[in-house]
Structure 1
């Protein structure tokens, strides 16, 4: 029997959970326990009601997610929050969440796997939050803007978007999966001409024009599917159990 304790211990060490400080209200680690055993893992970007219902239908007893059950302080467990917790408890589903640790991990993190998918070479990191850099800087490996655009269209066919006012031959490409709003003001100071991210604000269109940047907002959800899949697959291989990904077809 594979114990929940052994799986969680593996995750904590693999993701260096205890050494990475996340944003306020983002709780990394085991958020809800089950009866103590794991027979099948479900992976999802979000610990929402529908993913939990799908995990139940898939006969999974552990849900790995990037965005967990708890994001705001002192949330009453009622309405949709009650339904989520009840669904998990009634169906013996433990919930484990990893946010920034799964963004910045050098092997199975969202940014690292996005770089690999695009054949970009990671050369540095930036955007520090409490001693952890959570954005990657990449060398293009001969990839022109046209080539990069085509690769991103193929990788994110439903959510690809671009704002192209920068160099046609990028020299330093930043990766920040999910929300990229915090990165844009610091791109020029780090000699970065291109940013690949999940989502931006309308104001960043003007900043791209004025600062001569290439910005690729390719979907918050879509850019953050890599890490949970990789972690679930690694756990499944290590513990010899099944896993499945619960795709929500989110285009935001």
Structure 2
């Protein structure tokens, strides 16, 4: 079954409420391809490996969390950017990207999807009262030792997280997928036993240790694989198109 590209983009934009979210990149259609969509390849980042997989499968559209045209990047179409855009344009493939809208969505978002895999009951935003809050707060059904919670994360994500073990069992958790180690201060202020994100900075370790909480860095890529998969499956079920998620693994 096929759907018009402009109809599909409008429906996804509406469902994710993308227009209301201020971001570091354009959300929605970033590169326009053929007018109808039958096959969608999704992935975390619009890397060359993902584009090549889309070409090989005969995809009409690539759906990602990390697209192009970030505010801080060089706008010149040279090198890696030229090769990526050439691949899309020469094969008439569209690129559709959603960054923060796919982090915060209450059903399809990265943070909610990660919570489902870790057995975390969502209780609210990481920063109560802040409408721009990206991360979430929640709790485990039963307290776990830091090493036990790290083992659960490893089993769910298929990789060992970096663990800075705190001094108490973990029941209340704050989390934010991706590169959100800077939110550890908000998590501490919220009274969590553990804070989980994708990446780590040198200062994060000291913040966790000196405040007696556990900290887990489970991988930027690994924590953000699930929102785009959920969105791709939502599109496929709603519009009858084919969808395939391609996991181009990244150790970060």
TM (normalized to structure 2)?
0.93
Query: Contact 1:21 / 1:130 at 8 angstroms: preserved in 2?
Result: no
Query: Does residue 1:58 correspond to 2:53, yes or no?
Result: no
**Higher deviation after alignment, 179-188 or 37-46:** 179-188
Answer yes or no: is 1:223 the counterpart of 2:234.
no
* TM-superposition CA deviations, 1:101-148 (whole Å, max 9, x none): 101111111100111111111001024898321000002221413542
Gaps of 5+ in 1: none
SS class of match (1:154): helix
The residue matched to 1:192 in structure 2 has which SS?
A: coil
**Correspondences of 1:66-105 after superposition (within 5 Å):** 66-71=65-70, 72-73=72-73, 75-105=75-105
Q: Within 1, Cα distance between the matches of 2:36 and 2:167?
A: 52
* Inter-CA distance 95–130: structure 2 relative to 1 (3 Å threshold): farther
| Aligned residue number for residue 165 of structure 2 | 164
> Is the CA contact 2:136–2:175 (under 8 Å) kept in the aligned structure 1?
yes
Q: Distance in 2 between matches of 1:73 and 1:161?
A: 29
Matches within 5 A, 1:154-233: 154-168=155-169, 170-233=170-233
1:172 CA drift (Å): 2.0
Per-residue CA deviations over 1:198-247 (Å, capped at 9, x if unaligned) read 11112211221111111110110010000010000110111111111111
- Could you list the runs of 4 or more consecutive aligned residues of structure 1 that deviate by over 3 angstroms after TM superposition? 127-131
Contact 1:176 1:197 in 2 (8 A): yes
Shift of 1:196: 1.4
Distance 1:111 1:63 in 2: 22
Q: 1:180 offset after TM fit, Å?
A: 2.1
In structure 2, the CA distance between the partners of 1:160 and 1:73, relative to structure 1 (3 Å rule), is closer
The separation in 2 between residues aligned to 1:86 and 1:158, in whole angstroms, is 34
SS of alignment partner, residue 220 of structure 2: coil
Paired residues in the alignment total 249
Provide the secondary structure at the position in 1 that maps to 2:134.
strand
When the two structures are superposed, what TM-score results if normalisation uses the length of structure 1?
Answer: 0.93
Task: Give unmatched runs, 5+ long, in structure 2.
Answer: none
Structure-1 separation of matches of 2:168 and 2:102:
30
Equivalents in 1 of 2:127, 2:110: separation in Å? 15
Tell me by how many angstroms 1:88 deviates.
0.1
Matching residue of 2:114: 114
